[in-house]
Amino acid sequence: MLDLQFIRDNTDIVRLALKNKNREGVDLDRILALAEERKKAAGLVGEINKKRNDAQATRDAEAGKRLKDELKTAEENYQAVEKELVSLLIKIPNIPSADTPVGPDESGNKVIREWGEKPQFSFTPKAHWDIGKILGVIDNEKAAEVSGARFTYLKGGLAMLEFALMNFAWSVLTSEETLQKIITGAGLSISAKPFVPVIPPIMMRSGVMNRMARLDPLDERYYFEKDDLVFIGSAEHTLGPLHMDETLREEQLPLRYAAMTPAFRREAGAAGKDTRGILRLHQFNKLEMESFTKPEDGLAEQDFMVAIQEYLLQQLRLPYRAVAICTGDMGFPDQRQIDLETWMPGQQGSNASEGLGCYRETHTSDYIGGFQARRLNTKVKRADGSNEPVHMNDATALSQRPLIAILENYQNADGTVTVPEVL
């Protein structure tokens, strides 16, 4: 949620953001009108309360009764205005950063860096689903019988490879020395405080997920109505509220956490897309980073997280490119979104004329600013005594998708796969 005062003072910026983020349906004028109305309604409630307090001081029972009724009416009016205002306010997306490309959809994304040499094969490289079948390490058929489409069994060496991958990521995220090296390499000057490993809940109250601005679209979530619990779509969802309703001290920041959890996604609206292999599943494991920083450190923190992601892929010798996600394609609460796409030589991209091989998204990083913190009520007390929302970042460390990249980039002619040296 944006700050109401910010919306009032920067109507043009908000209107532009609505347009660029494809949310022109949000009635900004109505919001501004409601904000005025709420101010008036609150004034009236305060006035009646004052009179009521005076009546109580003089034990004026008659006036007290009358004012109680007046207060009830005024409060009901205030509640109605407040409710409509908040319901509209939470529909305004976050404002894209200045360096975010403007664009309607995926087509507006900009590649900002490329790294690595694409492997050359003396044979036609296979897609990971074929390699998985040859090696007997991916079994979607049985998973479909047991759980349905978009589930998988990862077995044997591939399961071990995933553990190795996650261990590798943990070794980086918990090492101050390695993090300092990454920070220096990226030309940043921020704290090298390591990430605190966390095993978080993977179900959460729908109300809290809503405060994270991640409940919508509910259709994308697995929701247990009876218990009002939602399966998380990312560890971010339960790491983000770790300091809900708290005021942090400046010297505590940055606070960095990481968690490996299953992530659950219904993939509503993706019917028929990426149905082969393990690229798009209802359940997959992911190691996620989350951090809380002072507002002025938020953007650099995202650069840091991207640098970690790139370090991980570079250590794995996997070619990738970094992509600045444009306004129309970025997440609702995002101020700036940068994705890494890793080279997958065995797959056919959407453009068949380009031949075999394509880049697929393996990493995302979201700079959220104070957008989530405002609704989560996670604040930082500044040196001057004032309070303001902390800035938050979340980003993928490693997920199951890099497994695909390893299978396809490290494949041999006989269908075997070489394990990356760092693992």
Residues near RNA, by CB under 7 A: 39, 42-43, 45-46, 49-50, 52-53, 55-56, 59-61, 64-65, 68, 247, 379, 381, 385, 387
Asked if residues 258 and 238 have their Cβ atoms less than 8 Å apart, the reply is no
The neighbouring-strand residues paired with 411 are 417
For RNA, give the closer residue by CB, 230 or 338.
Answer: 230
Cβ 58 to RNA shortest distance, Å: 8
Q: Taking the complex as a whole, how short is the minimal distance between the CB of residue 8 and RNA, in angstroms?
A: 9
Q: How far is the CB of 46 from RNA (least distance, A)?
A: 4
**Residue 399 C-beta: closest distance to RNA, Å:** 26
Q: Left (φ > 0), alpha (ψ -120 to 50) or beta: where does 112 sit?
A: alpha
The residue among 48 and 368 lying less far from RNA, judged by its C-beta, is: 48
Residue reference for tokens 């109507």:
11
CA atoms within 13 A on the CB side of 104: 0
Look at residue 22 and give its three-state secondary structure. coil
- Least CB distance from residue 376 to RNA, whole Å? 14
Q: What residues are paired with 104 via a beta bridge?
A: none
Q: Cβ closer to RNA: 56 or 73?
A: 56
C-alpha to C-alpha distance for 260 and 124, rounded to whole angstroms: 35
Which one, 66 or 133, has the nearer CB to RNA? Answer: 66
d(CA 216, CA 330): 14
Which residue pairs from 330-333 have beta carbons closer than 8 angstroms and sit at least 24 positions apart in sequence?
330/21, 330/96, 330/100, 331/366, 332/21, 332/93, 332/94, 332/213, 332/216, 333/93, 333/94, 333/212, 333/213, 333/214, 333/366, 333/368, 333/371, 333/372
User: Taking a C-beta distance cutoff of 8 angstroms, is the pair 259, 239 a contact?
Assistant: yes
Minimum CB distance to RNA smaller for 5 or for 107: 5
CB of 68 to RNA, least distance (A): 4
Q: Which is nearer to RNA, 55 or 312 (CB)?
A: 55
